[in-house]
Structure 1
Amino acid sequence: MWYLEDLNIGDKFRSRNYEVTLEEIIEFATKYDPQVFHLDEEKAKDHPIFQGIAASGWHTSSIVMRLWTECFPIADGLIGLEGSMRWPKPTRPGDILHVEVELTDIIPSKSKPDRGIVVYSTQALNQHGDVLLNSSTKILVFRKPQ
């Protein structure tokens, strides 16, 4: 587990691979984002943007969260403070995703010396190197207990 003093600007982390299945895309969409281009292969073919079934951006984000927790093990968890994300290309059935994380800033707290803020950028890429998600995230990270 990593604490604030274990981290440096420029540190990079890479996750394992994760294969996205059609069944998983439909299951997630059925529960959380029931739109035709996430649910029906035939109807999705006619969509002007997706031109085929695509995972919900929130599904892709959930996979990224899982991969973050595995490759970027912060003591006391990834406690999110702020984030922004983009989905430049859709995630498709059969895509094999991995995430690449780079620390871009570390800001020790002036008022609470036991913690700080870590800023990192993430790219989720598929097996072709296509970027499916870009994000910038701020998390709370604690120092090692004294």
Structure 2
Amino acid sequence: MKSNVSTDRLSIADLNLGDRTELGKYTISTDDIVTFARQWDPQFFHIDEERAVTDGYFGGIIASGIQTLAIFQRLSVKSFIQNLNVIGGAGIDGLQFRRPVRPGDTLTGSIVIKDIQIQSDRGRALVAYTGELINQNAEPVLVLTISAYVQMRTT
């Protein structure tokens, strides 16, 4: 599906409720999972392939949820957020890890504008969007709603 949002620098006036942006793709490898987890989430089911098979609930190594969230962020920035003058994040609601991400999975997804609260006296808007990552089988692996402050363009 195509985005109905332009890829040029956007202003708040360019955003509409329901605008949908398709994310790019990211295929995750065992090395990606282990390298990330060794630094940020060193639980055995992320870093020890043998033990993940014998003792892990999922029968093999899986990506950290934090890594899955980071992949979502990267894809969102590259496909949409970099086109805005973002001031900073305001929060994440409803974060759910729906199923494990495994080596070889190809993740993609979309974001949809859910709410726009103009704060013209502060030169910004609070933009909320829902997001979803799915694997190559179209199974959701992550869902969430993110809010971020976006600077309003003056021209």
Query: What residue in structure 2 maps to residue 88 of structure 1?
Result: 98
State the one-letter code of the partner of 2:71: I
CA distance in 1 between counterparts of 2:127 and 2:76 reads 14
Report the 3-state secondary structure (helix = DSSP H, G, I; strand = E; otherwise coil) of the residue aligned with 2:13.
Answer: helix
Moved more, 84-93 or 19-28: 84-93
Aligned to 2:108: 98
The residue number in structure 2 matching 1:116 is 125
Aligned equivalents of 1:17, 1:102: Cα separation in 2: 17
Give me the TM-score of the superposition, normalised by structure 2: 0.87
Using the TM superposition, give the Cα deviation of residue 119 of structure 1 relative to its aligned residue in structure 2, in angstroms: 0.7
Higher relative contact order (CA 8 A, sep 6+): 1
Give the % identical residues. 31
Give yes or no for the alignment of 1:55 onto 2:53.
no
Can you give the 5+ residue segments of structure 2 that lack an aligned partner in the other structure?
1-8
Q: 1:35 maps to which residue?
A: 43
Residue 77 (1) aligns with residue 86 (2): yes
CA distance in 2 between partners of 1:47 and 1:127 (Å): 26
RMSD, aligned CA: 1.5
Distance apart, 1:138 and its partner CA: 0.5
**Corresponding position of 2:3:** none
| Other structure's SS at 2:54 match | coil
Give 2:12's aligned residue.
4
Q: Does 1:44 align with 2:24?
A: no
**Which deviates more from structure 2 when the two are superposed, residues 66-75 or residues 12-21?**
66-75
Q: Would you say 1:15 and 2:23 are equivalent positions?
A: yes
Task: Show the counterpart of 1:65.
Answer: 73
Once the two structures are superposed, residues 37-96 of structure 1 have per-residue CA deviations (whole angstroms, 9 ceiling, x without a partner) of 001111112345322110000011111111010111342237210103110101100000
SS state at 2:114 partner? strand
Asked if 2 retains the 8 angstrom alpha-carbon contact of 1:83 and 1:135, the reply is yes
TM-superposed CA distance for 1:110, in Å, is 5.6
Match of 2:143? 134
How many corresponding residue pairs? 145
TM-score (norm. length: structure 1): 0.92
TM-aligned CA deviation for residue 3 of structure 1: 1.9
Is the CA contact (8 Å cut-off) linking 1:74 and 1:141 kept in structure 2?
no
